[in-house]
Amino acid sequence: MSFAEPTAPRTALVTGSAGFIGFHLCQLLLDMGWRVVGLDAMTDYYDVRLKQRRHAMLSQNQGFRAVEDRLEGDGVLRALFDEYRPDAVIHLAAQAGVRYSIDAPGSYVTANLCGTFELLEAARAFPPQHMLLASTSSVYGANTQMPYAETDKADTQMSFYAATKKANEAMAHSYAHLYGLPTTMFRFFTVYGPWGRPDMALFKFTRAILEGDAIDVYNHGDMQRDFTYIDDLVRAIAKLIDAVPDGPEARPAPPEFDSISPVAPYRIVNIGNANPVKLMTFIDAIEASIGQTAKKNMLPMQPGDVPATWADTTLLQHLIGEIPSTDITTGVARFVEWYRDYYSV
C-alpha cells in the first residue's frame, strides 16, 4: 500500500501579531495547522505587558515564530519575506484609534503609511499567493446611507486615522495593479471580545464600572455600532484567505455587490455583524454581566467620531458562506469573564 506524501503546512505572515486581532487570528491559524510568523513592534500605545502575554501564549505552539521589530524599519519586512516566503500575508499592524489620531497624527504616518509601504515593497519582491490588509469602517466617514456597502463612495473621512486607512486602500490597489499582487482589503466594524485593547469602549467601561468610576457616554448615548465579536471576525479572515481575487477559488459576485477592481486582482470586503446595536443597549449588557449600574457622564459627540455604523455583509456571505454571528449579550459576557480572570477582580 502506498501513501501520499504529507502536505507541507502553509506559512502565514501576520503583522501586529501581539495585538488584539492579530493574537486571535494567529491562534486560529495555528489551530488550523498553519505555520505563523508574527511580527509586532510592542509599542507602548497601551500596556505592553498585555502584548507580551499574548505573544508568550502563541509561542507555546512550535509552529509560531515571534519577531519583535518595527514594520517600517528599513529591510525588516523584506528579510522576513525572503526567509519565509509566506503563502498568505495578513497585515494588521497599525496605529489604531480615532481619538488618538487627533493628539498624535505623526505616529499614524509612520506606522500606517510608511509601514504599509514597506510591506507592499516586500511583497513586490517576494509575491505571496494572497495579501490581506486591514482597513476600517471609519473610511465611510460622513456617509449617511446605511448599511455601508463596499461599493459606496468613501471620500469623506472624519479622522486622520480613517484617512490613513483610506490611503492604505489606494496604495494597495496600485501595487495590485502594477505588480499583479492578489489583494483583499477588509473593513472592520467595532471589534470586541476577550484580550481586547484597553483604549476600547468595552474595556474602559468594564474597568470603570468595577472600580466605581463614571463612564463617558458620547453624543448623550445617541449612537449605534455594528459590534463584531472577535471570534467571528478571525474566522471570516481565515476563510477569506482562499477567496483570492481573480484566483481559481474566487467566485464571481453579483455586480451590484462586488467591489473587485476592474483593473487589478483587488477587492474590498466588509467584516461586520450586520446588526447595529444602540450604545445604551451595549452599556446595559455590560451592566448586566457585571451586576452593577454604571455612573454616566453624558457628553457631546467627540471630534472625528460618527453617530452610527452598519455593515452590509452581502459580499462577505457570498465569498465565505455562512457568517459567524455572536450576539452582544454573549460576547460582552465572555469579555467580562476574561477581564475578571485576567485582573483577578
| CA distance linking residue 115 with residue 55, whole number of Å | 21
Say which of 46, 161, 266, 339 is annotated catalytic.
Answer: 161
Q: How far is CA 201 from the centre of its chain?
A: 16
84 is catalytic: no
Strand order in the sheet with 130-136: 64-68, 35-40, 11-15, 88-91, 130-136, 183-188, 266-271
Spell out the residues 6+ positions from residue 165 whose beta carbon is closer than 8 angstroms to its own.
94, 112, 134, 135, 136, 138, 139, 157
Query: Which of 271, 290, 280, 272 has its CA nearest to residue 332?
Result: 290
The SS3 of residue 216 is: strand
The answer to whether 137 and 270 have CB atoms below 8 angstroms apart is: yes
Q: Which three cell numbers stand for residue 127?
A: 509575491
Distances (CA, A) of 148 to 33, 82, 250, 300: 34, 38, 23, 24
| CA distance linking residue 297 with residue 63, whole number of Å | 47
Spell out the residues 6+ positions from residue 331 whose beta carbon is closer than 8 angstroms to its own.
192, 193, 227, 229
Amino acid at 195: W
| CA distance linking residue 253 with residue 164, whole number of Å | 28
Q: How far is CA 232 from the centre of its chain?
A: 11
Q: How far is CA 321 from the centre of its chain?
A: 20
Cite the active site residues: 161
